[in-house]
Structure 1
Amino acid sequence: MSISKWIGASIGWSFGGPIGAIVGLAIGSVVDAMTSGKNSPLLGQGQQQRSRRRTRRPQQRQTYRSRAQQQRAQTQSGDFEVSLLILASIVIKADGKQDQRELDFVRNQFTKMYGKERANNAFRLFKNITKQNISTRQVCLQIKEMMDHSSRLQLMHFLFGIAKSDDHVAESEIKQIYTISGYLGISNKDFESIKAMFYNSKENAYKILEIPKTATDDDVKRAYRKMAKKYHPDKVAHLGKEHQEGAEEKFREVQKAYETIQKERGF
């Protein structure tokens, strides 16, 4: 596969803007070690329809900003994957070190979602991304403009998973994820809800449902229905089955929170 088709199949809408620059530099480093014709696409493997659509000449492309509204509802697995790699690199470096458990978490999650071969290729790119100085604001603003809200919530869930993977969530990591959430247009309630999914506490059950402890039983039931709808796996169906399975983790946490309050209140 030619390098132009490889890139087209790999990074979709993120071909432009600050993300495109970051990935382009990382790909350049990876390509130096490639053997021509023996490597599969790094990301977005199998998305033939999208690669054909994106292998037009550069001068025929619209800028990523002019396509934002059109693409927001069309975010695909490869676009999500690239965004995830970049944001993961930012969080991992937040505490001034790269813990092997965090790196293993990223690799294992990618293997679970995409399979071993694609995960290995993605991790090669990831290691080159972690060596770069990245503007969190610029990257997040591009993601916010191009990616739908449900997919951005899925990104946040993954980032908290990274922070928790070494069994200690550093304050610097929490601050970094909070900064990312703000740039991504994630509300404080959504941030606290997802954060609470990674801690065991009765109070966190209320935070997950985004309600105060003083909420009535009817308020609790309404909140559960609202959150179950927000985090339903079908919300990220456009990203592919691998991400629906990941979204089920958030959905189960919502159910668990509701059941905890049910048991506590006896209704």
Structure 2
Amino acid sequence: MKKLWYIVYCCAIPAIIFANFYTETIFIQKIGGIESITNLILVLYYITNRKSKFVTNDWLLIEALLFTCVGGILLQLYENEELLYFINTMGFYLSQFTYINIFRNEGSSLPPYFSAFREWKLMAVSILFILGLLFVFTPYIPDKLLVISFIYSTQMLILCWMAYYRPIEKKAYQVGILGAVLLIFSNVWLTISLLVAQFPYMVLIYFIFYSSSQYFILESILKNINNSTLTSDNPS
């Protein structure tokens, strides 16, 4: 069954994107369609591969995927570009907020202020991210969206920190970190494509980053929940 889902996810969606190149919709509406279809497939994948009764984190994960899915559908209904940017950002914001709640339920928490500086590599990446946001992207962001863009970007940074401090099995942890990093790349590429410059194959590149990030985060959460269920069912 998993192989079937891989085929659907890796082959069917790119075919849909290829067809999407020939529509008259603008870029942000195209990526809204990608987000909706991708997340609906991932919801079905998750339900199919969940090995036991659903718990709180299961419902939170489905909720996170559906937030972005609904945002993608709403993008097809309006024409005003600033409103489209707002809808897309809010969909991502609610989705990431739910991921943070899932990580918190797994036992992740942000470290005390001073101990955070011991993770100098993570701090360096975080500082570079903030500097890039302030000096590279801020001049291109519409004034009406500056506040929500800053809140969303800060939340994305918190998501990565929470992913870094998840106390879970190594393989699930590594997959989750990869998903969080790819999520940042997808958002950076989306910002560049929307506000800075247009590039060939930008829809396809966004799909690769976004769909991979969502799949790896989902797979990480699924692995951890299934591992926890097996441990509780077979105590040593």
The verdict on a shared fold, with TM-score over 0.5 as the criterion, is: no
Task: Kindly indicate whether structure 1 or structure 2 has the higher relative contact order, using CA contacts under 8 Å at least 6 residues apart.
Answer: 2
- Which protein shows a greater Rg? 1
Q: Which has the higher helix share?
A: 2
Tell me the TM-score normalized by structure 1: 0.28
Tell me the TM-score normalized by structure 2: 0.30
